[in-house]
Chains A and B, each alone.
Chain A
Amino acid sequence: MASDGKDLVVSSKWLAGLTGVCAGLLIGGTGVQILVDSKSPGIIVEAEEALPDRPDLEDWPDAFLHSVEEAETYIRDGQGVAFNMGQLAGLYHINGYYTEAVQLYQSLIEIDPGNGLWRHRLADLLAGFGDLASAISLWEQTISLPPVYGPAWIRYGEALIKANRWEEAEVVFKDLLEREPENAFAWQGLARVAIENGADSLAEVRLKNALEFSGNRLGHNLLASLHERNGRINEAAQLRDEIRVISDAQFLDDPWIRDLYRLCFDPFQIAVGAGMASYIGEEEEAIQLLERSLQIDPGHVDNRYQLSLLYMSTNRILDARLQLEGCIELKSDYGDGWALLSNLYRAVGDDRGADQILAEGIRNSPASPGLHLGQARRYRVTGNFLEAIESYRRAIALHTEEPDPFIELALCYLELFQEEKAIQSANQALETDPGNPDAISLLTRIYINLNDRENAARWLKAMETGARVPPEYTREMTRIYREVFN
């Protein structure tokens, strides 16, 4: 363990020797108290020496430079030294000036040793590159400091696993679970330890806990693989069927790191932060971040679009509309913007407005697959199947990586009694997405309708064995099959 006790003593001695006034400051949202401040001339000189040389910030928004200058000025004046050094470190950290950030964090660790925030942020930065040895040492110290900050424990345990220090990792995760028994990441970490030790039964229990406490977002992949490895194929398939999500992004909620994004001046990186916030359910924070990104760069169309999606998911329809209108005003060929705006109008019941926007969008962005798909769907629901087929074909020609247009096209062909073309289209859906449950079900139904028992049986079998085909689909199709052929 780190000599945190000694650091505290040294720090206390240092604080006792100061002539200035200590002030308690809060860093926004993190609840981290910093009790270091001084106007002692000696400290001011040393603090100034701690400042890294300012990098060239010419290409950045003025606000970034102003923030840096402001923090530097306060530090030089001895006002809120640790707080402003933390601000400066955060500014450099989240905007990619890592050498400067590291230098400041190292100073902060010395002048504010009882605060785990600086060690955690530095560890996260270094481990973000793969410098595990430095990070492990820092996290070891962090977890010995109050408060118990779960993400630091998780990262420490994960880093130990990556350093092959399995037994130590197990202790870390178990210690955290004593404090936070429903921490899904700790359960997953413990499960990895069990898998490493060949204790599959124990791993299974731990992964089930990870699943339970994460709302099925964590551990399902390891558990399915574990089942499969142990020959429990059906259980693996059932688990995949239950989860039925593609979920590579399993971000740990780490407020001490997330909080840095409010200091970010790179619109794309702010969008990354917003995406992470949204993923962990902090949609309001994500919205605030994206709104801030647009203050920095009002012309950032992708962020405007991302913001409109968040507004829609939080039912702020008018705000979403304004953002989407902004998208297409900035970039008239922004097909996704036109398509989403049309969907938005339709969602509120304004079909005429939606149709107008769709038509205008296609005029401005004729190569947008999303717009042609929207047009095709509109034709389809209004019974204009020939026009729908034409639009589906255009959408597919422009973008052929999605199965849904093929399936919907097949349905149009069926409406026109063109079964062969429907079969061809459903098979194309399976080429883009093998195992697509809708395509498999559709093919089964078509062959039943055609009274083609052999092919109907073949596709019904595919439904039965298809990992993603809902059991209720299979039951219903089996019933129809039996009605027709028995």
Chain B
Amino acid sequence: MAALTLALVFVGCTPAPESKKPSALLERQEEIDARSFFQAKAIGSDYEGDPWIAHVKAVDLDRDGQEDLLVCDARDDEVLWLRKTDAGEFEEIVLATEMRAPVHAEEADMDGDGDLDILVSSMSIVFPSNEKIGAVILLDNDGNHQFTKHVLLDNVDRVVDVRPADFNGDGQLDLAVGQFGYDEGMVRWMERVGPMEFKSHILLNLSGTVNVCVADFDGNGALDFAAFVTQQWEEIHMFFNDGRGNFTARTVFGSTNQDFAGSGMSLCDLNQDGLPDLVFSNGDGFGPTTNPGPRPWHGVQWLRNKGKGQFQFARIGDLPGAYAPLETDLDGDGEMDVVALSSFNDFDKPDAVSMVWFRNMGGETFKPHVLAYKPTHLLTIAVIQEEGRGTPSLVTGAFHGWPPFGENSRLTLWRPTGRISW
């Protein structure tokens, strides 16, 4: 507080309002080397080259009581199912091909026949494009895990996230859709008007949405949704639902930093007060340079839900190239931690981290624990609870979109070793 002391002596009056410690900043924290916490193991098919795994999601697709994985492979245009076998291994099954650069998959029983179908967000091209080539594709499960494609939305700004929810209270699942696009993009909800028919309602015409998250954020009993809009905007928009599909929009976070580089958002309840919070990252490394790379402001933060639709911003930790923040109680201490990846770190340096655990130390403070320096280019992560293990395992997917390559991976299972002291 030397600055404040100086100010008081100099001016001899009340301190300026900005002397309060800014909420955006944290004390510098030493990273703890916790690489022994997990043992890494490649899962899924053998591969060559530089995989583009865009999304991994834990789901018990066959409802056998074991968590499987849904995987989007944007290079091979496939949606995959990694089925957990009785032997504890993962068997890779191709569910659908020619999926046009799938980047997100969500399970839902869309036709009410008792099995899980899959909603897929397709960009068609992952790298910059202004074309109207995005699609929402439903993979309809026949009950025997044979899937039929239904295109629910096509020829639109590139789609990156679709979530099912009943927004108008008619008992049918509607959709919240985030469309990154490029120069143009949008957020819409698609009202179910027939078995496979939807009516679109455009809620926002801004480019750069990376994720949408559905929950009853304002506690009125109706499902709302949030959209993390990046590109030149860098805002989180909340769409509050009156229960009949009438949405009121409000911005709950924004940065004027045009290079803030928003990269991912997920639901959480970090303080376990029963109110849905949001954890989000900024670390998309592309910018006005010939190569992507880290920035000092990259990191992970959360919006604490204070109730009635009010949110408070708080920084969790710094992480260059941060992506895919996810809540989980990694050490089983009853506190919710956050794991996040670094997709655009300076991987020429051997000490550039690729996966970090922000361990909840209580009092809403977090301490960074390095889980991995390699493999690099991890983009997506899922938490799975494996039978017979007290604490969760992780599964990461790697997207090798930009060199340096060399520490490649495709799908990696991270099982806890039980070692928790360092």
Contact = CB atoms under 8 A, between A and B. Distances in A.
Contacts of B289: 268, 271-272, 274-275, 302, 306
Nearest to B313: A130
A303 to B, nearest CB: 8
Interface stretch (B102-110, B239-247, B290-298): B290-298
B18 A106 contact: yes
Contacts, number: 204
B13 A10 contact: yes
A434 B125 contact: yes
A164 B259 CA distance: 21
A247 B183 contact: yes
A251 interface: yes
20 contacts: A10-B13, A50-B6, A124-B256, A128-B256, A129-B257, A132-B255, A134-B18, A162-B254, A220-B183, A224-B183, A224-B184, A226-B205, A246-B183, A251-B288, A268-B346, A272-B289, A276-B288, A401-B127, A433-B129, A435-B131
Given A224-B184, A302-B291, A163 B254 contact: yes
Interface stretch (B24-32, B137-145, B324-332, B371-379): B24-32
Nearest to A129: B24
B128 A248 contact: yes
A383 to B, nearest CB: 33
Contacts of A164: 250-251
Interface stretch (A94-102, A358-366, A412-420): A94-102
Interface string A238-279: 001000001111111000000000000000110110111011
A131 B23 contact: yes
A246 B25 contact: no
Interface in B108-157: 124-125, 127-131, 133
B124 A434 contact: yes
B207 interface: yes
Contacts of A162: 235, 251, 253-256
Interface residues of B, number: 67
Interface string B1-38: 01111110111110011111011111110000000000
A279 B207 contact: no
B252 to A, nearest CB: 9
A193 interface: no
A372 interface: no
A106 B184 contact: no
Given A50-B2, A102-B25, A248 B183 contact: yes
A454 interface: no
A276 B4 CA distance: 34
Contact of B5 (A10, A11, A49): A49
Contacts of A434: 124-125, 129, 131, 133
A130 B9 contact: no
A164 B143 CA distance: 47
A221 B129 CA distance: 13
B293 A51 contact: no
B287 A129 contact: no
A257 to B, nearest CB: 10
Interface in A331-347: none
A225 interface: yes
- 7 smallest CB-CB distances across A and B, nearest first, come from A162-B254, A275-B288, A96-B296, A129-B24, A131-B24, A110-B7, A128-B257
Given A107-B3, A131-B24, A432-B125, A272 B288 contact: yes
A104 B259 CA distance: 24
Interface in A116-146: 119, 122, 124, 126-135, 137-138
Contacts of A132: 254-256, 313
Contacts of B28: 55, 99
B290 A159 contact: no
Given A50-B2, A51-B2, A128-B257, A134 B23 contact: yes
B227 to A, nearest CB: 14
Interface in A1-22: 7, 10-11, 14
Interface of A: 7, 10-11, 14, 46-47, 49-52, 55, 95-96, 98-99, 102-104, 106-107, 109-111, 119, 122, 124, 126-135, 137-138, 155, 158-159, 161-164, 195, 220-222, 224-226, 229, 240, 246-252, 268-269, 271-272, 274-276, 278-279, 302, 305-306, 309, 401, 432-435, 467
Interface in B283-322: 287-291, 293-297, 299, 301, 313, 315
B3 to A, nearest CB: 4
B186 interface: yes
Nearest to A158: B256
B15 to A, nearest CB: 8
B42 interface: no
A222 B205 contact: yes
A128 B235 CA distance: 12
B3 A159 contact: no
A96 B297 CA distance: 8
A480 B7 CA distance: 78
B202 interface: yes
Contacts of B251: 161-164
Contacts of B26: 99
A221 B181 CA distance: 11
B260 interface: yes
Report which residue of A106, A124, A467 has the largest number of chain B beta carbons within 10 angstroms of its beta carbon. A106
Interface in B145-190: 182-184, 186
A248 B128 CA distance: 9
B232 interface: yes
B208 to A, nearest CB: 8
B184 A46 contact: no
B66 interface: no
A302 B3 CA distance: 39
A225 B188 CA distance: 13
A110 B258 CA distance: 29
Given A106-B19, A130-B255, A250-B258, 9 more contacts: A126-B22, A130-B253, A131-B22, A133-B23, A134-B24, A159-B256, A162-B255, A221-B184, A435-B131
A249 B22 contact: no
Contacts of A269: 295-296
B231 interface: yes
Contacts of B18: 106, 109, 119, 122, 134, 137-138
Given A102-B22, A248-B231, A107 B256 contact: no
Contacts of B3: 50, 52, 103-104, 106-107, 110
Nearest to A218: B232
Nearest to A103: B3
Contacts of A432: 125
A302 B290 contact: yes
Contact of B24 (A49, A130, A249, A278): A130
Report which residue of A47, A109, A159, A248 has the largest number of chain B beta carbons within 10 angstroms of its beta carbon. A248
Contacts of B130: 240, 246
Nearest to A432: B125
A274 B26 CA distance: 28
B259 A106 contact: no
B271 to A, nearest CB: 19
A277 to B, nearest CB: 9
Contacts of A306: 289-290
Contacts of A274: 288-289
B10 A46 contact: yes
A430 B360 CA distance: 48
